[in-house]
Every structure is written in C-alpha cells, then in structure tokens.
Amino acid sequence: MRLTDDLIGSDIGAYLQKHENKSLLRFITCGSVDDGKSTLIGRLLYDSKMIFEDQLASLEADSKRVGTQGENIDFALLVDGLAAEREQGITIDVAYRFFATDKRKFIVADTPGHEQYTRNMATGASTADVAILMIDARKGILTQTRRHSFITTLLGIRRLVLAVNKMDLVDYKQQVFDDIVDDFYAFADELATDLEVQPIPMSALAGINITERSNETDWYDGPSLMEYLETVPIGDKRLGAPFRMPVQWVNRPNLDFRGFSGQIAAGSIRPGDRVKTLPSGRQSTIGRIVTATGDLDEAIAGQSVTLTLTDEIDSSRGDVIVSADDPAEVSDQFQARLLWMSDTPLLPGRRYLMKIGAKTVTATINAPKYGIDINTLNDVSARTLELNQIGVTTLSLDQPIAFDPYDENREMGGFILIDRQTNDTVALGLIDFALRRASNIHWQAIDIDRSALAEQKGQKPAVLWFTGLSGSGKSTIANALQKRLFALGKHSFILDGDNVRHGLNRDLGFTDADRVENIRRVSNVARLMADAGLITLVSFISPFRNERQMARGLMADGEFVEIHVDTPLGVAESRDVKGLYKKARAGEIKNFTGIDSPYEPPLNPEVRINTVGQSPEDAAEEILGYLQEKGFLSD
C-alpha cells in the first residue's frame, strides 16, 4: 500500500480522504504449510507493502539462515510462527493478519488445516466473508480439501476461492487445473446449492496470479487473487433480511430516557417502524435511533446503535427487537448441528449454558442423532461427540428464546455452549429448526394436584437420594428405612440402581455418557413418584456431582434429600458383597467407580452416614430422625 500511491507524498489530505472510505473484507485461508498457505499470506503482506524495513531486514536474514528458498526471500517466514509455537508448546491457533490495498482493508484468519484444528478453522470461518482453499496442483483434491470446504460452508461461507497453487511445478498446464476444478465441482453440490466458486491457478512462490494476471497462464481469463479480493461483494443475506437486534444493554442515563443498545443482526430500521420484542411478543414503534454523533434516519445490519421505543415496554438484555411484520421464531426445543470444541466429550443429558446473541440460558443436550464424518461428509452413528467432532442433536432449554435458523442468519442462529463447572467454551452450535413438539405439546392440566395426592397419604413427598460407592451399603440402609416407614404407615417406593438397569435402563452401559443418561431417566421417574405423593428412595452410585445437582433441580424446593453413604473405598472393597471389586481390579470390569472411574463426593449433603461401626438399622433411624425433624412425616 505504501509507496504504491503517489498521493501519499504529494497530497496526503486527498489520499486520506480516499482511504477513509475503504471497505473491509474478512477472509480465511485453509490449507497446511505444505500447500503454500504461509507463502501466500506472506506474499500478500509483502506485495501490499505491509512489511516495514526493519521487518524486511530480519526477514532477509532469516531467509538466508533458515529459509527454504536459498538466497531468495522465504515469504513463509513472515507469518509462520508455527515452528516457534511448537517449540514453545503453544496451541497452534487462529492468528489474525491485517493488510490493505488502495481499495480495501483485509482481515485474514489464518488457521492450520489438519483435522485436529477443526475447531480453530470453524472459529476463523464464523466471521469470514470468503474462504481461500489452498490446493497443491500436484496433488489435486485431497481429503483435507473436502474437509475444509465442508467446515467453511457449514459455518455459512458461500464464496470460495479454489487456489490451485504450485502451478509452476506442473508447467502451468491448463489440463491439470481443469481436472482439479472438475473434481471439486463433482462434490461441491453436496455442500450447498448456492456456492459461488472462483478457481484461480497460481504460484504463491513465484507471484503468479497473486496481484496481477500472469502470461504464464494465458489460457486463464479470470481475475488474479488480489483482483478478486478487491472486488468480490461483501456481506451476506443479512441486509435484505427482516430486522433483528438483540438487546445488549438497557441504556438508562436518567428517568426520561430509556434506550436499547445493540448491534443490528439483520435488516434495517427507521423511526416509525413497527417492531416486536421477543420472546414476550409485545409490539411497539421505533422512536429514535440514537448515536453519539446524532440521531440517524436509518440504521443497517452491522451497526451498533441505541433504539428508543414509543411505548413503555419493559425489555431487558437478551430480548430481541424484531420487525413486527416478519418476526423471528420463538421456541425452547431445537435441532442443531454441534461442533465439539473441548477435550471432555459431550455428556448427553447434562445441562450446559447456551449463549446466543445477548442471551444465556440453560440447555440440556440430548444424545446425537448422528455424527458427520468431516472427511467423507457421510453420516455416522454417534452416542456422544468428542473434540472436533460434528453431530446433529436436539436440545431443550429452560426458557424460550427468539432465533432464526443459522443458514438464514449467523448471529440469530449461532450459539456457544459453556460448561457450568469449568466455564470453558465446549461447543459451537448452529440452530437448524425448532422442534414442533415444543410448541404443540402442552402440559396437561390435572384437577387433582400433587399436594392433594400427598395430603391423602398424610405425608410430604420426598426424594431420598442415596449416593455412595458400590458396596457402601446404600441399598441395605434404604431397605431398613423403608421397613420403618412402612411400619409408620407411610407410602414409599425404592428405585434401586441394579433393578432399574434390568428394565428401563437396560440399553445403558457404564461409560460417562451412559451414567449421565441413567441418572437423567431415574431422576425423572423419581420426580413423577414425588408428584404422586410418595417418599421415594433412590439408591444409585450416581458418582457425578453435576447429575445429582440436575436431579435436585428437577424436584420441588426442599423435597430433594441427598444422603451420602460415606464408606471408605477400602471398607467397601473389603466387603465386596457382589465380588465386583475383585473383577474390577482384575480388569474384567471397566469404568468401575472408585477403581478406574471417579466418584465425586457430595459437598453439602443433607445427611451423611458413616457406616463404619454403625448398623444399617441405626443408619435408617438417623435418616428417619431427619425426616421427622423436617416435617416430612407429620400428618
């Protein structure tokens, strides 16, 4: 950019005027080092004169010292932090690079192309307008090309550059180029029907068709890469779409002003336009579009503004202001595609936080319907999702949200999942559609309610949740307690882990994911029993805090009583009533709690039972005392 424009020296004012009005294009480069990706980016930076002399001097020195191009400049060294990153043990990641030409400013998301960096590529693609797919002309379309095309189109990019690189090594033969392009089109239809593909033959190393069209490929009449990047239309379907703005912040400087601040996600808006706030559905009219430099007559997608409404509507962060004529959908159950980004696999049935727009809700993720093999694009069966895996699943939320399908609007349909314990971002998700059953299956109103059922039995319903190691004495104590309750004329029922696994949960094993599903089903059954007015004794190892927390969350306040049967592993193992510890130690049973699968003890159980030196009957008596004290048994 510098030095290419004489105006800089002669009339800086005119130059700046011109350059203030440049547009901004964001693109992602996909490929591995071997494809010449770093060389390409290095050359784009170099050719746009974004390299300062001190950097150039060190580049020339490095090129001679460690470069791969003899006495010539090795452009790859400009951007190739990868070797250094490996040495430092740093995660190879998305790096953002910046350059500008006379026409545009560019932001490049530079991501490695190997399968283990799928999440990084997806992150880079999520904000990109264009993807450049690097292909080595000698190798043609490879598995990784299919993978890169899939990930970038999955994230919504519809403009792809097929950068057929290293044409110098195949003597710039048109046939080689044409064959590769044909191969690509042969599977491109599977990706999306509205793709715009621009194939360009090039040599990043020799600078062929990078900034200018070259005579070496006189059979090619398309643009050079830079010509394409400078002229390709920017933006997506968002602008023609109906108006959407998630409310980020309620702007209340004083009692006379109430504005809703946010970044417009789709469409445009003018004062006087009719709008709705979702999910409440209340209607109003846009009063003003407020910015620090004065009110606007119109605002469009991408702008950060503050809107006022003509009616006093109580709207808060996370609501979405939408066009009244063409509102977004509202639902609490969805089908979505998930890309798993965490080393800890998805645990179906577990609750995660879901952030979409400015809204954060709790979402229960169900087991995937199927996974997608990102190399073959085939559906594969999947019970969970591991790092970098993509799958289709359904999820249900604790409250309804406004959304549009991801393919219609990235901001309104894209979300992240957050682990509630670690706070890590564990997945990226794309909403496909709402499940109709969410809106069509209503709660059946029942005339005789749960309190009536409990009163009839002269008790307060409770879920007594016995947790502890195998052989700790859970079932024995629960049995003893039930006998006592029965004698007192109380209505109770025992849900026992082993017994339930013979029927309701016979399809589940002992992996972490299955354990979570096991608990999800049992806690729902226990809840129904509590609704029926019963005192329900649940005797399950239930090793994970998170799932016990989930069970607690299902029950009415005060009805969940966590009982930790706190028997040390050594004692439980020495009892070994069922002979299971012996088998686990011998490796005959996998995923055995306490041996090769963790047990997370409760931090604040309502009752903690020490079984060493105490009989099951005494333990039952202790729990009975607790129930009496808390009023569960009084008539």
Partner 1 sequence: MKDETDLAKMTHLDRLEAESLHIMREVASECENPVMLYSVGKDSAVMLHLAMKAFYPSRPPFPLMHVDTTWKFREMIEFRDRKAAEMGMDLLVHVNEEGVRDGVGPFTHGSAMHTDIMKTAALKQALDKYKFDAAFGGARRDEEKSRAKERVFSFRSSEHRWDPKKQRPEPWNLYNTRIHPGESVRVFPLSNWTELDIWQYIRREQIEIVPLYFAKERPVVSWNGVDIMVDDDRVPEELAKTAVMKSVRFRTLGCYPLTGAVESTAATLEEIIQEMLLTTTSERQGRVIDADQAASMEKKKQEGYF
Per CB under 8 A, 81 contacts partner 1: yes
* Position 104 contacts partner 1 (CB under 8 A): yes
- Residue of 240, 489, 558, 601 that binds partner 1 (CB under 8 A): 240
From candidates 205, 328, 358, 627, binder to partner 1 by CB under 8 A = 358
Check residue 341 for interaction with partner 1 (CB under 8 A). Answer: yes
**CA-CA distances (angstroms) from residue 513 to 14, 200, 518, 520, 546?**
64, 46, 9, 11, 12
Contact call for residue 259 and partner 1 (CB under 8 A): yes
Q: Which of residues 168-207 bind partner 1 (CB under 8 A)?
A: none
Kindly state whether residue 93 participates in binding partner 1, applying the rule CB under 8 A.
yes
343 belongs to the binding site for partner 1 (CB under 8 A): no
**Residue 302, annotated ligand binder?**
no
Q: Tell me the number of residues near partner 1 by CB under 8 A.
A: 86
Residue 484 three-state SS: helix
**β-pairing verdict for 244-246 and 329-340:** unpaired
Smallest separation, CB 316 to partner 1 (Å): 10
- Reference 532, options 480, 462, 601, 615; nearest CA is 462
**315 a catalytic residue:** no
546 binds partner 1 (CB under 8 A): no
118 is known to lie in a ligand binding site: no
| Options 69, 198, 248, 597; binder of partner 1; rule CB under 8 A | 248
Among 33, 60, 64, 97, binds partner 1 (CB under 8 A): 97
Structure tokens at 169: 């090594």
CB 382 within 8 A of CB 371: yes
Among 116, 174, 304, 634, binds partner 1 (CB under 8 A): 304
Q: Which one of 186, 239, 441, 452 is in contact with partner 1 (CB under 8 A)? A: 239
419-438 binders of partner 1 (CB under 8 A)? 423-425, 428
Distance CA 356, CA 354 (A): 6
Q: Which stretch binds partner 1 (CB under 8 A): 90-98, 134-142, 381-389, 562-570?
A: 90-98
- Give yes or no for residue 73 binding partner 1 (CB under 8 A): no
Among 68, 143, 182, 233, binds partner 1 (CB under 8 A): 233
Residues 392-411 touching partner 1, rule: CB under 8 A, are 410-411
Gap between the Cα atoms of 35 and 38, Å rounded: 8
Q: How far is the CB of 407 from partner 1 (least distance, A)?
A: 14
Position among 255, 292, 586, 603 found at the interface with partner 1 (CB under 8 A): 292
Residue 610 marked ligand-binding:
no
3-state secondary structure string, 506-571?
A: CCCCCCHHHHHHHHHHHHHHHHHHHHCCCEEEEECCCCCHHHHHHHHHHCCCCCEEEEEECCCHHH
Neighbour count for residue 227 (Cβ, 10 Å): 17
Q: Which residues contact 220 (CB under 8 A, 6 or more apart)?
A: 174, 177, 200, 201, 209, 213
Task: Tell whether 362 is in a known binding site.
Answer: no
- Please tell me which residue in 542, 574, 597, 615 is annotated as part of the active site: 542
Contact residue for partner 1 among 69, 263, 511, 591 (CB under 8 A): 263
The tokens for 108 are 């490049």
Side by side, the strands of the sheet bearing 249-254 are 244-246, 320-323, 274-278, 282-290, 304-309, 257-263, 249-254
Strands 329-340 and 425-434: antiparallel
What part of residues 114-153 is at the interface with partner 1 (CB under 8 A)?
Answer: 119-120, 122-123, 126-127
52 binds partner 1 (CB under 8 A): yes
d(CA 158, CA 164) in angstroms, rounded, equals: 18
Instruction: Name which of 185 and 249 has its Cβ closer to partner 1.
Output: 249
Residues numbered 3-22 forming contacts with partner 1, rule: CB under 8 A: 3, 8-9, 12-13, 16, 19-22
Nearer to partner 1, 8 or 453 (CB): 8
Contact flag: residue 444 with partner 1 (CB under 8 A): no
* Phi and psi, residue 479, nearest 5°: -60, -50
Burial class (CB in 10 A: 0-12, 13-18, 19+), 557: exposed
Contact flag: residue 253 with partner 1 (CB under 8 A): yes
Binding-site annotation, residues for ATP: 468-475
The catalytic residues are 542
